[in-house]
Amino acid sequence: MMMAYVVKYIRLASSGISTPFLIFEDPTDSIKMTRIAWFFRQYWILLLLVVVKTGLQFVLINPAYELHRDEFLHLDQAFHPAAGYISVPPFTSWMSALICLFGGGLFWVRLIPALFGALTIVLSWLIVEELGGRLPAKLLTTTFLIFSVYARINVLFQPNSFDILAWTAIFWSLIRYVRTQDVRWLLILAVVTALGLYNKYTVVFLITGLIGGLMLTRQRTIFRAKWFYIAIAFCLLLFLPNIIWQITHYFPVIYHMKALNNSQLVNITYSGFLLDQLKSGVIGILTLASFWALIFYKPFRVYRFIGLTFVAVLTLFTLSRAKSYYALGLYPVMFCMGSVYLEAVLNKWKSVAIPALIVLNILFFFLIARYIMPFQSPEQIITNRESYQELGLLRWEDGRDHSLPQDFADMSGWSEMAGKALKTWQMIPADEQKNTLIFCDNYGQTGALNYYNRKKMPEAYSFNTDYIYWLPQLERIDNVLLVGKRPDKEVIDMFREIKAVEVVSDEFAREKGTTVFLLLGAKPGFTEFFYDMAEERKAEFDIF
């Protein structure tokens, strides 16, 4: 009897029907398979790949590197819960609260983006199932995602890892709806879209592209479905708290984008954005195969809206001079379609061709991993500077080449800075500490001090990004512990004494040369001057 059930499973699997939660029971009750047992039997390879993916994110990081400046800011947001922030939407702060619940250590900070990357692998596997792909296509898709530029993205606790996951989940929900016409998938689509928006507003680009892609294909019938509009209303309801926050704060996202464009995106060219897509390796055999399939492969005709969406979003990002990694959420679904198509057309050759593609991809990844991942120490990178320079990895957002890749330079020197700030704080007499403000030039410095010195000294603040909105209302400011550049003469003249106490000496840090000052004995009027300056900066949105 068991053989009969095995044959039945093979038939179901070969027809593209996923059966992970079925209960198979022998009529004689001699053999019973629980749902959990069946799940592990069907998905043990996927679970193994999840473990490999998660572990790889830790193995390929050199212990010489600390957290990134952005990560310190995101972690600080956990202590200032809100429906929105100037720097990012609030989803990252929810993850920060979870990290802090587990102690806030380096392991937990790095585990969260690794898990988002692993979940992207899981969804891609499920998309391949939906498209009728079997094990070879699943392995081709997932290994191309694991051993790729996505590993670099999943190193840092930033919105990017969940952004890619959210885009993949949106495509998965739409594919499920197209296949089943089950309106519940529209409600799931509403939830994942709302979560995506809570994480990063660039999801708006995907929504715009999807509307165009759906309208230009036979899937335009979705706009005649009542439940589609119910799903839109549900999504807006879920996202309403952040909409209200944006309105009450006069849409800071607009000013943020303007500041980003003036300081960073201005150095990105149209050709540079498209060239980065090629250099990153995401436009390769799987992406090209997916386009061919969407045009010529009959089973994929119903999914042509995905190809049109890809073109539309990539065009919008190019015209907006977006950062190259903004588009990475587009590719997992393309990898899935390309893998399924190659599995189908290779036919009897797939047992050789697909393993060969997988092996070649893994070998290529490990050849370049030392360059794209923080695997080599700063000393090793400087020794091999020419190789990094040829790959364009030393070019920062200012358009110039530096000693280290920007992200790596942003992962050095923070603990030294925090230790020297704490040492300086301890020099202040205990009876004066309550009237001493700890202030920094930028959000990275501020977040690092708070991360390393929490509960050892009061919180640090800044006029930079979200910190300006968290300033404490001290009745009187007598002293300032300042981390950053030497203040201008107007500020110095408002204190009895200024001391340069410590200097960050880490030669690999972007913050090398940052000084820790003590400004002692504030003259009457400084407190009012400080808070007036803060209000002026907020009014002009001069916080970047």
The confidence score (pLDDT) of residue 395 equals 86
Inform me whether the pLDDT recorded for 366 exceeds 80.
Answer: yes
Mean pLDDT of 155-161: 96
pLDDT above 90 as % of the chain? 77
Residue 238's contacts (CB-CB under 8 Å, 6 or more residues apart) are: 190, 191, 194
Q: Which of 72-76, 145-149, 506-510 has the lowest mean pLDDT?
A: 506-510
**What are the φ and ψ backbone dihedral angles of 479, each rounded to 5 degrees?**
-135, 160
> Given a cut of 60, is residue 536 above it in pLDDT?
yes
- Give the DSSP per-residue string, 488-538: PHHHHTTEEEEEEEEE---TT-TTTT-EEEEEEEEPTTHHHHHHHHHHHHH
Could you give the CA distance from residue 402 to residue 324 in angstroms, rounded to a whole number? 19
Give the model's confidence band at 3: pLDDT under 50 very low, under 70 low, under 90 confident, else very high: very low
398-408 pLDDT tens trace? 778 888 999 99
70-129 pLDDT, tens digit per residue, is: 999 999 999 999 999 998 999 999 999 999 999 999 999 999 999 999 999 999 999 999
Distance CA 204, CA 210 (A): 10
| CA 241/CA 393 separation, integer angstroms | 39
For residue 324, pLDDT beyond 50? yes
Residue range 36-70, pLDDT digits in tens: 887 888 889 999 999 999 999 999 999 999 999 99
pLDDT bracket for residue 5 (50, 70, 90)? very low
CA–CA dist 428, 33 (Å, integer): 68
pLDDT of residue 286: 96
User: What is the pLDDT at residue 125?
Assistant: 97
DSSP 122-152: HHHHHHHHHTT--HHHHHHHHHHHHSSTHHH
What value does the mean pLDDT take over residues 304-327? 94
Question: What b/e readout covers 501-517, taking b as 16+ CB neighbours within 10 angstroms?
Answer: bbebebebbbbbebbbb
Is 152's pLDDT higher than 70? yes
Point out which residues pair with 497 in neighbouring strands: 520
Quote the pLDDT of residue 26.
Answer: 47
The Cα–Cα gap between 366 and 496 comes to 58
How confident is residue 266, by pLDDT bands cut at 50, 70 and 90? low
pLDDT given at position 256: 79
